[in-house]
Amino acid sequence: MRSNKTLKYIIGVLIAAAVPLSFFFVTRHFSDGKLKIPGYYRPEGTHVVMEEGKPFTDTVFHKVKDLQLTNQLGKTFSLNKDLRGKILVIDFIFTTCPSVCPKLTSNMNEIQKAYIQKNPDLVQFISISVDPVRDSVAALRAYANRFHADHDRWYFCTGNQDSIFDYAKNELGLSLDNADVAGDFIHSQQMVLLDTARNIRGYFDGLDRKETGRLADDIYILNIEKRKHGR
């Protein structure tokens, strides 16, 4: 059971700050008089917690394990250890992809621009190559430059191919059934939102501008939630 205190706190912060939200945010969250906090995905069991002196059965959700990658600057890092405290937005690309990846990356860039201007340290964008053998650090840097990425806050990553595919399938739960197929590579067009505790908080069609608009709004809500819980 999730407390309504978080919801009340977020609404209070939004009103007090007079935050300039997108039209999509306003119509989505306030047209029915409710603010929708991003949900949790991939339940793994239950446990009993105490809330206001009473026991409640709460659902335990999957926490995504760590993954070591190398970004377009040649820096090797871990998604959880080195990006602790940051919200993550993750997608999968490869630089020679002719169709899906350019559109996916262009839409990620729109979200990046919205947050780089006013909240540069709020979120880390992660684009992971599914063709790490050919997508060298130099190739990823050139691709990042093509889409005007902020190299400090949007990482284009290579790594061990088996680890990357295992992470996509078993940690993020991405289905390959409806994924884009190009050559020997299969990748999803989904963008995945992870909170600072590394719970999955949303899947978004990266080719749909309404979906990426919803993702941009949910990043902001998770930031307020993070502030409430001191994470």
- Compute the distance between CA of residue 215 and CA of residue 193 in angstroms, rounded to an integer: 8
Same domain, 48 and 73: no
- Compute the distance between CA of residue 74 and CA of residue 141 in angstroms, rounded to an integer: 9
Boundary (domain end) residue, out of 41, 61, 81: 61
Q: What predicted TM-score, i.e. pTM, was given to this entire model?
A: 0.81
Which residue in 191, 10, 11 sits closest to 112, CA to CA?
191
The answer to whether residue 231 scores a pLDDT higher than 70 is: no
Boundary (domain end) residue, out of 13, 45, 61: 61
**Domain of residue 83, residue span:** 68-229
Same domain, 83 and 184: yes
- Comparing 75-79, 96-100, 224-228, the range with the smallest average pLDDT is 224-228
CB 153: neighbour CB atoms within 10 A?
A: 16
- For residue 182, the domain's CATH number is 3.40.30.10
Q: pLDDT tens, 176-198?
A: 554 555 444 567 899 999 999 99
SS3 25: helix
Same domain, 106 and 174: yes
Per-residue pLDDT at 31 = 43
- Compute the distance between CA of residue 24 and CA of residue 217 in angstroms, rounded to an integer: 8
Same domain, 55 and 101: no
Same domain, 127 and 86: yes
* Number of domains present in the structure of the chain: 2
Question: Is 187 assigned a ligand-binding role in the annotation?
Answer: yes
Question: Is 157 assigned a ligand-binding role in the annotation?
Answer: no
Same domain, 195 and 167: yes
Per-residue pLDDT at 15 = 39
Question: Is 62 assigned a ligand-binding role in the annotation?
Answer: no
Per-residue pLDDT at 179 = 53
Mean pLDDT highest for which of 44-58, 115-129, 136-150, 166-180?
Answer: 136-150
Mean pLDDT highest for which of 12-26, 32-46, 126-140?
Answer: 126-140
Same domain, 105 and 209: yes
